[in-house]
Chains A and B, each alone.
Chain A
């Protein structure tokens, strides 16, 4: 909605500032935290771009899996309760399919370089 600059452009500019101007002047714990800060901003940037679509897809899957309508929060809570109460087995094929699709979307946002992401995508 808002542009000139977009949120992603703002984030990119802050990442560049940290990496090129601020981080070289830092050391030890502060230098480490600067790297973490860049990772955090990059995750936020990916979430801005892919988060809404991932949540919509997850909500649709939850709705199909549970046979109920609702928003993401209520459906996700319902799913947790069903697993905890034993109504859905932890190795139920439909449940695992939901887990697979949802967690791939989330790790692509949180940590796209994580080795376990490639492992699951390859299977």
Chain B
């Protein structure tokens, strides 16, 4: 931490004009593939560092941090609310592979955003705001972006079915969902920049102004625009809130905001398709996390217990299959 303090201190003049060092460095979250730190410059600018822990190689799907930073800048240019990227540090630099961004005020805890009284007012317009912001992200010109993976519904299903088969779990509801979704996979016409993890919990929401910043760009890729809308509606990200969009809003408002901001119209049916794929994907991810317990890689009770969240995705899948029948 002293080394990091020193390395960031040297960057201070670039981060805030007139700053000479940084203060208050503290670790915020302990993600395995990514570190998040908060600090201030000595003249008071509140900042966030996102850094790859030394010695850790990237997780399978995550883009390099420099790519994340470039995508945040590209989204900002289209008017999407994002933190301001202030410095990008290359792998092997004193800070390590990282970038520094402005700290945006607000709340990211999904449960508070979906249910707590201070957010009651902004909840009324939040789904529409999400639609507007997704339209802006999807309009980012894809030429000139750093290299990104391309995925469609069919390739996503292929990927997660391989994960599921490898687990040797016998889950008939997953079998039915794979079959249902494979039979109806939409073709990928014109791939757009997809955020890839646009859901309640990764959105900074201010109790007075609503959506303040879109965070966590590490799963960005090129794909179907409806993927982002469907993931935002996936039941596991409603945090007990009563409404389909992130627990806080309605499908109609999300789609209206998307179109009003110039997004090409998306049929509700296509959003529901990706919502269902989202439940199936999260279910496979729960099994994968449990597998890290079963293999002994992570012996924590949390990794063991998350396997029991697989059934929540199955009950959502059954509700969606019944609705489609």
Residues of A participating in the B interface, judged by any CB pair closer than 8 Å: 29, 32-33, 36-37, 39-40, 43, 73, 76-77, 79-80, 83-84, 86, 90-91, 93, 95-96, 99-100, 103-104, 106-107, 110-111, 114-117, 119-120, 123
Contact = CB atoms under 8 A, between A and B. Distances in A.
A35 to B, nearest CB: 9
A36 B172 contact: no
B314 interface: yes
B238 A80 contact: no
A95 B179 CA distance: 13
A111 B179 contact: no
Given A96-B325, A110-B309, A111-B309, A33 B315 contact: no
Interface size classification for chain B: 20 to 34
Contacts of B235: 115-116
Contacts of B312: 107, 110-111, 114, 116
B144 to A, nearest CB: 41
A7 B263 CA distance: 57
Given A93-B325, A115-B238, A86 B179 contact: yes
Q: Chain A contact residues: over half helix, strand or loop, or mixed? A: helix
A51 B235 CA distance: 25
Contacts of A111: 308-309, 311-312
Contacts of B177: 90
A43 B301 CA distance: 13
A82 to B, nearest CB: 9
A118 B2 CA distance: 51
Given A79-B172, A99-B321, A115 B240 contact: yes
B319 interface: yes
B300 A33 contact: yes
A120 B316 CA distance: 8
Contacts of A43: 305, 308
B179 A83 contact: yes
A87 to B, nearest CB: 11
B240 A80 contact: no
Q: Chain B contact residues: over half helix, strand or loop, or mixed? A: helix
Nearest to B325: A91
B302 A36 contact: yes
Contact of A120 (B30, B171, B318): B318
B301 A40 contact: yes
Nearest to B161: A84
Contacts, number: 98
Given A84-B175, A103-B318, 10 more contacts: A40-B308, A76-B172, A80-B170, A80-B172, A83-B172, A99-B318, A100-B318, A107-B311, A107-B312, A107-B315
B163 interface: no
A76 B174 CA distance: 12
Given A76-B170, A100-B318, A84 B311 contact: no
Interface in B288-325: 300-302, 304-305, 308-309, 311-312, 314-316, 318-319, 321-322, 324-325
Nearest to B179: A90
B252 interface: no
Contact of A80 (B171, B183, B321): B171
A32 B177 CA distance: 32
B180 interface: yes
A100 to B, nearest CB: 6
Nearest to B314: A103
Nearest to B310: A110
Given A36-B302, A115-B240, A77 B180 contact: no
A117 B315 contact: yes
A36 B316 contact: no
6 contacts: A43-B308, A79-B175, A80-B171, A84-B178, A107-B312, A110-B308
